[in-house]
Structures are given as structure tokens and as C-alpha cells.
Amino acid sequence: MTALLQVNNLSKTFKLSRNWFNRKTFTALDPISFEVQAYQTLAIVGETGSGKSTLAKLLVGAEIPTTGHIKLNGQTLQPGNFKQRCQHVRMIFQDSGTTLNPSLTIGQLLNEPLVLNTDLTEEARHSLIRETLQKVGLLADHMNFYPHMFSGGQKQRISLARAIILAPQVIILDEALASLDPSLRAQMINLLLDLQEQMGLAYILISHNLGIVRHFSDEIMVLSQGQVMEMGKTSDILNKPKHKYTKKLIMSQRFQLSHR
Ligand SMILES: Nc1ncnc2c1ncn2[C@@H]1O[C@H](COP(=O)(O)OP(=O)(O)O)[C@@H](O)[C@H]1O
Ligand SMILES: [Mg+2]
């Protein structure tokens, strides 16, 4: 069976200067390959600057890869075609909730991707918006509210609603749970797991928090300086880490884990 998402030899080298005499480059991500199945979660862990967000941006099509390609359902995604991509692969950031346009109602915010990417009638869009709000645990009546009328946790649900409204197959959560307090975070994780079950979503979870990763993910990729240190089943990596970098990461969080 072909995996939902297949990443082959993907890498990114940034050009730091375009000066002909001084061609400095920086490789943020060395070539990597991996697969993610529907209904599965791959966690990506690694210190700051290890290339996690660069990988996320390549996956959503916000950066053009230096080498390699990405296949979704066996079909190669075109590097420049952000519109095609963003229907199927969506990203939620840590501060997604705070970057919602304050002058638009929630209904307008959710309508935007539908107008851009679908031919749905106004009526069909309206009912899809109501349905999606309910799916993320908000009320259909919230359509007429503005972002400032919501709490941080609710805003995060609004960005989740925006992410799922086009029925994507892959959602990338780039530290999306980091700024939520523990009880809101637990609610959000349960919601994400429910949606995964309902919609067959694949998640790519970028997180510093190994407690979240243990609870949430099926597999883990450990990144350091743009290279994959190790990759495998969550329980194997967390219980029997092979690489010294992974061991260090686990040691540094053991106290937090045992006191959760
Ligand atoms: N547009 C860019 N130009 C040059 N260097 C970049 C650019 N984006 C990211 N980098 C560098 O790539 C490395 C990885 O960054 P990033 O993927 O954001 O790391 P992480 O998300 O793991 O903290 C960092 O050293 C960063 O400075
Ligand atoms: Mg990052």
C-alpha cells in the first residue's frame, strides 16, 4: 500500500548572499526521506534551529526544496503550486490564534479558503462553516463574532477550523500546542485525536514537549542540525533511545515527565 505522504530526498539550502564573488549558503535540512500513513502521527523533535520549521514549510509548499520531492497519494506535489498544496496539506502555528485578521468575523475567516479553493454556493459554504465550527467544539452562532471575543484556546480552535474546512489529508502542527496551558492543551489534544479518527488525518507534530509526543504520536523523528539522528516507533525511541542526542533530550525532560 502506498503511504499517504511520501517524502523523498528532501533538502533545503538557503542562499545567504547572491553576490557572485561570495556565494554563501546554509543547509537547514540535509536530504531526508520518510513516509506517513493516514490516521498516523509523526512527531518531529529537536532543539531550536534543527530544521523543524524548514521541513514544515517545505511540506506546505511555503519553501521550494533544493532537492527531492513530496508525493501525496502517490502523486508528486508541484513545488510552486501553493494553491493545490494548501487544500491537502495545512499548517497550524503556535501563534495561529493570535494572527487571525481582527477585522473579519469568524464566518468571514472560514469563508475565505472556501471562496479561494472551491466552487461551493454561498448556501453550501454557510452550512459547511456551521458544521466545521461544531466539529471543533465551537457554536454555529460564533460565525458572527470577531476574533477578539474569544479566549486563546478558542482562537486556536478557530485556526483548527480554518485548517480542516477544506478536508485536508495532512495537518502540520508547528508548536501549535506550546502556548496553551495544560488543561486547554489536553482538551485540544483530545479534539485533534477525534478529528484524526473522523477524517483519517495524518499529523506531523512538531513539539518540544516529550510528554505530548508520547501521548500523541505513533512515530518520532529526531532532528539535529538539519539531520535525522534517529526515527522509529514512539515507544522504541522514548524507551530505548539509540542516539546520544535523543538520550540528552529525554534526560532533560525526565523530571517534567515524571511530575505530570
Ligand atoms: N530563510 C532563511 N534563510 C536563511 N537561513 C534560514 C532561513 N530560514 C531558516 N534558516 C535557518 O535554518 C535553520 C533551521 O531553522 P528552522 O527550520 O526554523 O529551525 P527550528 O524550527 O527547528 O527551530 C536555522 O539555523 C535558521 O537560522
Ligand atoms: Mg521552528
Indicate the domain borders of the chain: 5-15+25-104+155-258
Q: What are the strands of the beta sheet with 67-72, ordered from one edge?
A: 25-36, 5-15, 67-72, 75-76
Task: Average the pLDDT over 100-120 and give the result.
Answer: 94
Spatial neighbors of 11 by CB under 8 A, at least 6 apart, are 27, 29, 30, 31, 32, 65, 66, 67, 68
CATH of the domain spanning 5-15+25-104+155-258: 3.40.50.300
Q: How confident is the model at residue 87 (pLDDT cuts 50, 70, 90)?
A: confident
Q: Taking the model in full, what pTM does it have?
A: 0.92
- Using a 6 Å cutoff on CB, does residue 207 contact ligand 1? no
Local structure of 172: helix, strand or coil: strand
Give the ligand with the smallest distance to the CA of 223: 1
Find residue 240's DSSP bridge partners: none
Q: Indicate whether 260 pLDDT > 50.
A: no
Which atom in ligand 1 lies closest to the alpha carbon of residue 206?
Answer: 21
* pLDDT at residue 258, as a whole number: 54
Does residue 175 contact residue 207 with C-beta atoms inside 8 Å?
Answer: yes
Task: Measure 179 CA to ligand 2 centroid, in angstroms.
Answer: 14
CA-63 nearest atom, ligand 1: 1
207 Cα to the center of ligand 2, angstroms: 9
In ligand 1, the atom with minimum distance to the C-alpha of 51 is: 17
What integer best gives the mean pLDDT of the chain?
91
The torsion angle over the Cα atoms of residues 224, 63, 35 and 94, rounded to 10 degrees, is: 70
The protein residue with its alpha carbon nearest to ligand 1, atom 20, reads: 49
What is residue 255's predicted lDDT score, i.e. its pLDDT? 54
Distance, in Å, from the CA atom of 247 to the CA atom of 240, rounded to the nearest integer, reads 9
Q: Whose alpha carbon is nearest atom 1 of ligand 1?
A: 14
Distance 59 CA to ligand 1 centre (A): 15
Answer yes or no: is pLDDT of 90 > 50: yes
Residue 137 has pLDDT above 70, yes or no: yes
The atom of ligand 1 lying closest to the CA of 47 is 22
The predicted pLDDT at position 22 comes to 72
Query: Do the beta carbons of residue 91 and residue 137 sit within 8 Å?
Result: no
State yes or no: pLDDT of 61 exceeds 80: yes
pLDDT for 180 equals 85
* Residue nearest atom 8 in ligand 1 by C-alpha distance: 54
pLDDT tens, 146-202? 999 999 889 999 999 999 999 999 999 999 888 888 889 999 999 999 999 999 999
Q: Which residues surround ligand 2, an ion (CB under 5 A)?
A: 52-53
Q: Model confidence over 6-51: pLDDT tens digits?
A: 999 999 999 887 776 777 899 999 999 999 999 999 999 998 999 9
Q: How confident is the model at residue 257 (pLDDT cuts 50, 70, 90)?
A: low
* Digit-coded pLDDT (tens) for 208-255: 889 899 999 999 999 999 999 999 999 999 999 998 889 988 888 775
99 or 28: whose pLDDT is higher?
A: 28
Report, as an integer, the average pLDDT of 82-96. 81
Cβ of 50 below 6 Å from ligand 1: yes
Q: Which amino acid is at 164?
A: I
Residue 224, ligand 1, Cβ within 6 A: no
- The CB-based long-range contact list for 75-79 (8 Å cut-off, 24+ gap) reads none
Distance 51 CA to ligand 1 centre (A): 6
Nearest ligand to the CA atom of 46? 1
Tell me the C-alpha distance between 5 and 133, whole Å: 27
Comparing 12-21, 52-61, 66-75, the range with the smallest average pLDDT is: 12-21
